[in-house]
Amino acid sequence: MTNVAERRSQRREARRHTPVVQPGALINKLSPTEVVSAEGVELIHAASMRLLREHGILIVDYPAAAETFRKAGASVEWVDAEHLYPNGDTTKVCGHLVKIEEELLLQHLRNAPSEFTQLARNPARNMDIGGKRTVFAPVYGPPFVADYEHGRRSATLEDFQNFAKLAYMAPQIHHNGGTLVEPNDVEVKERHLDMLLAHALCSDKCFMGSVTHRENARDTVLFSEVLFGADNIRAHPATLSLINASSPLRFDDRMFGALEIYARARQAILVTPFLIAGAMSPSTMAATLAQQNAEALFGICYAQMLCPGVPVIYGSFLANIDMRSGAPCFGTPEDALALYAGAQMARRYKLPYRSGGNFTGSRIPDAQAGYESASTMWPTIQAGVNFVLHSAGWLEGG
Amino acid sequence: MTNVAERRSQRREARRHTPVVQPGALINKLSPTEVVSAEGVELIHAASMRLLREHGILIVDYPAAAETFRKAGASVEWVDAEHLYPNGDTTKVCGHLVKIEEELLLQHLRNAPSEFTQLARNPARNMDIGGKRTVFAPVYGPPFVADYEHGRRSATLEDFQNFAKLAYMAPQIHHNGGTLVEPNDVEVKERHLDMLLAHALCSDKCFMGSVTHRENARDTVLFSEVLFGADNIRAHPATLSLINASSPLRFDDRMFGALEIYARARQAILVTPFLIAGAMSPSTMAATLAQQNAEALFGICYAQMLCPGVPVIYGSFLANIDMRSGAPCFGTPEDALALYAGAQMARRYKLPYRSGGNFTGSRIPDAQAGYESASTMWPTIQAGVNFVLHSAGWLEGG
């Protein structure tokens, strides 16, 4: 037995006799820090309403969603065109372009609750999301892991199970999250089931659903019905699932397909535009915030059209690009300003807000990782973020 | 020539042809983050006024200062007593105990300017201190340095000169600071002169004065008169000097002696209680803030009694103790709350505020150093700190 393994087993033995106190979500009594004036919030709102009204959002490969918007009164047109980039390249733009008026959008948004309770296997770990509470969840989606003995390597299901147990044990982690790592040793078509099972068996905290396919979302709902009871999960959601926009101004069948399944089953939905300013959005933060607002509200509006009152979270994942190298940057002042402003926008619509985490572009847990992570976590706390994905475990820009 | 030296000379050659743009102090347009309600600010004010009125501040070995307070109308009594600690130890308390009423204190405080200009050798580098500006200065006081070739070692005058040049070159550093390192290879009695000379020869930015002895302060003033002209430095200060309280609730001859010299010469004074909560002050932050406020205002009041209108800065150096190990902690949430609250107190009296920096307890520039530093720097910026000592170069808890 190596020295490392020996010390590890000693620590494990010591822990066996120490009960872990789980204090639950952080209650943040401070007033949130605001960086945009009330007038600025209205300007961003107005700009995003103009985007939705004049430019529209493209729905790719998912006519059912376009039909839902059309029936609700939005303008829908079929687009099949070549888009010309400034450098002469072209790309095919093909899908339903949905344009929606402010009044129609807001009418549906008003049905979204400002707080909700997600069920956990252990009722003492049920999570209230919204208001003054900040809920921390682990990293979501890394394909690699690193450990002391084997260094950096492709993640496995065993890693996933271990991280699920760590999230279960850590009092600082309130919610078990979703794709803790990508279990690359399991067939893609079964992966979501293995992950759900690991969350259910290795932890008693809340977890997130699969969004990799419409059918996987359906499996998640069925799984939750078995675990919690079909009626119970209609009263309070048992899953929270991450729906990303294919920014700029686009949603695809994969994400809107999963959203539809979850919304119809009254499961909570986290709509998050994935924005690296300068790549998927303008390089100025004000314009990026308008785009983010348009995308987030469009997704939330779709969920409310499918199921009025379904719990949703207004999400923001917003970094920016290094204008010299093209690499994404984390923990910058721009990101912090956008994080604060995003929180102000979510509060304007009385929606729970997801943003922040412990982000870094560094490949190892070094000084850069330390200051970039802290530079994201401070604004996260001070903005009053309600749901924090990637609170622990992020390296290498994700 | 080693590889390192070769690369260094290449970089030096490249820099020779790149002009360094010095943009000057940060103008922070954001509203400062506030963590204490208006009522809370008044409670802290009231508690500190009670401390000054009922408990008083002890002036040790400096009867001249006690006499100044007595003449101004404060109550002064000679104290010579044994102080009994809870553990049975005793300590001798001996000096002038000064008790001062709120009205008298505030009457003198009102003479302090809310902004002032410090002269630099290069008028383009004059520093306006106060208002929306944040001025960064390097670390103050470390006895050790570390470099790539020789590791950690006792600092020398050559190191001091090199750091003075680095501060001069760095656009992020607006002010050259003071004791960049302690030049241990120079006789103590000449050290302050060598440091002043290095600041004047190696940089054209503002610098700080010596406070290690009353006579050293006098040398600093004479030196500044030679450099800037005696009349000029009465119109605008040429030095800014750091006066620490010997917390709790005590000032000594060394600090008040230097303060007196600087105040009479109209040189700017930075009055900073040096507080590690749980050691030099109560372990709760509210009580520590009241103590800090009492000590800072007492020192500032003394300066204003000596020279009405002399520029002063309300200083805060406030960390807390690890209640398990007794070691000072940096970058904690408590420190951040105190930093924000301290800024609110300084604004209440319309005084420029000094606090924050890049603090860490770590011995090397690792992840801990990164996140602790960022966890101090974020509140520093968001509190609207006007003068930031220790902006660069801090390790090992200073």
User: What tens digit of pLDDT does each residue of B104-150 get?
Assistant: 999 999 999 999 999 999 999 999 999 999 999 999 999 999 988 88
What distance in Å separates the CA atoms of residue A375 and residue A371, rounded to the nearest whole number? Answer: 6
* pLDDT tens sequence across B262-310: 999 999 999 999 999 988 999 899 999 999 999 999 999 999 999 999 9
- Closest Cα to residue A33, out of A331, A258, A340, A357? A340
The fold adopted by the segment(s) A26-388 is: TIM Barrel (3.20.20)
* pLDDT in the model for residue A21: 86
Strand residue runs (E) in A279-358: 312-315, 317-321, 328-329, 353-354
Report which DSSP code applies to A123.
G
- Does B84 have pLDDT greater than 80? no
- Distance (Å, whole) CA A48 – CA A45: 5
Contact (Cβ atoms closer than 8 angstroms) between residue A284 and residue A334: no
| Distance from chain centroid for Cα B31 | 24
Digits of tens for pLDDT over chain A (398 positions)? 568 888 888 888 887 887 788 889 999 999 999 999 999 999 999 999 999 999 999 999 999 999 999 999 999 999 998 877 777 888 888 999 999 999 999 999 999 999 999 999 999 999 999 999 999 999 999 999 998 888 899 999 999 999 999 999 999 999 999 999 999 999 999 999 999 999 999 999 999 999 999 999 999 999 999 999 999 999 999 999 999 999 999 999 999 999 999 999 999 999 999 999 988 999 899 999 999 999 999 999 999 999 999 999 999 999 998 888 888 899 999 999 999 999 999 999 999 999 999 999 898 999 999 999 999 999 999 999 999 999 998 887 77
Give contacts of B34 with chain A, Cβ < 8 Å: 31
Q: If you ran DSSP here, which 8-state letter would residue B366 be given?
A: B
Nearby residues of A65 by Cβ (< 8 Å), 6 or more positions away: A59, A96, A251, A256, A260, A302
Give me the residue from B33, B34, B373 closest to A371, CB to CB: B373
Q: Which two tokens stand for residue B247?
A: 């917390």
How far apart are alpha carbons A376 and A393 in whole angstroms?
A: 14
CB-CB neighbors (< 8 A) of B379 in chain A = 378
In the structure encoding, which two tokens stand for residue B106, read together?
Answer: 């505030």
β-strand pairing of A353-354 with B151-154: unpaired
Mean pLDDT for B358-368 is: 92
Tokens 């909560």, located at residue: B277
Residue B365: list chain A partners with CB under 8 A.
Answer: 367
A33 to chain B nearest CA, in Å?
A: 6
Contact check, Cβ <8 Å, B375/A378: yes
> How far is residue A58's CA from residue A247's CA, in Å, rounded to a whole number?
10
Contact residues, chain A to chain B, C-beta under 8 Å: 30-31, 33-35, 331, 336, 365-375, 378-379, 382
**If you search the block for the tokens 């001091």, which residue do you land on?**
B160
Distance CA A13, CA A1 (A): 16
B240's tokens = 């800014």
Please determine, for residue B397, whether its predicted confidence score (pLDDT) is greater than 70. Answer: yes
Provide the pLDDT for residue A397: 72
Would you kindly state where each structural domain of chain A is located, as residue ranges?
Answer: 26-388
* Chain B residues near residue A373 by CB distance under 8 angstroms: 370-371, 374
Q: What integer pLDDT is reported at residue B148 of this predicted model?
A: 84
CA-nearest of B279, B281, B213 to B241 is B213
Residues with Cβ < 8 Å from A97, sequence gap 6 or more?
A56, A57, A58, A59, A76, A77, A78, A79
| CA–CA gap between residue A388 and residue A394 (Å, rounded) | 13
Cβ contact, residue pair B367, A367, below 8 Å = yes
Average pLDDT of the residues in B377-381: 96
B32, two tokens? 């400062």
Provide the 8-state DSSP code for A348. Answer: H
Please give the residue of chain A at the shortest CA–CA distance from B369.
A367
- Helices (H), ranges, B60-180: 63-72, 102-109, 157-169
Phi and psi torsions of A163, nearest 5°? -70, -35
What residues of B are in the A interface, CB distance below 8 Å?
Answer: 30-31, 33-35, 331, 336, 365-375, 378-379, 382
- Determine the distance in angstroms separating the CA of A383 from the nearest CA of chain B, rounded to an integer: 11
DSSP summary character for residue B158? H
Helix (H) or strand (E) holding A225: helix A214-228
Maximum pairwise Cα distance, chain A: 68
Q: What is the pTM of this model?
A: 0.91
- Which residues in chain A have their CB less than 8 angstroms from residue B368's CB? 370
Pick from B33, B369, B375: which is nearest to A367 by CB? Answer: B369
Residue A28 near residue A135, CB atoms below 8 Å? no
Residue among A73, A120, A64 at smallest CA distance from A268: A120
Helical ranges in chain B per DSSP H = 3-16, 38-50, 63-72, 102-109, 157-169, 188-202, 214-228, 230-235, 253-264, 285-306, 333-348, 367-382
C-alpha span between B143 and A17 (Å, rounded): 45
Nearest by CB to residue A368, choosing from B370, B375, B378, is B370
Q: Which whole number is the average pLDDT over B224-228?
A: 98
- Give the 3-state secondary structure percentages of chain A, helix then strand then coil, rounded to 5: 40, 20, 35
Identity at B197, one-letter amino acid code: L
Q: Which residues of A touch B382 (CB under 8 A)?
A: 33, 382
pLDDT at residue number A2: 66
Any idea what the Cα angle at residue A200 is, between residues A274 and A114, rounded to 5°? 50
- Over 70: is that where the pLDDT of B174 sits? yes
Q: Which of A132, A138, A124, A208 is nearest to A173 (CA)?
A: A138
**What is the total residue count of chain B?**
398
Region at B164 (left for phi over 0; alpha for psi -120 to 50; beta for the rest): alpha
Report ipTM for this prediction. Answer: 0.89
> If you search the block for the tokens 């920016």, which residue do you land on?
A320
Cα torsion B174, B178, B184, B185: sign: positive
Average pLDDT, chain B: 94
User: Stretch B222-233: mean pLDDT, rounded?
Assistant: 98
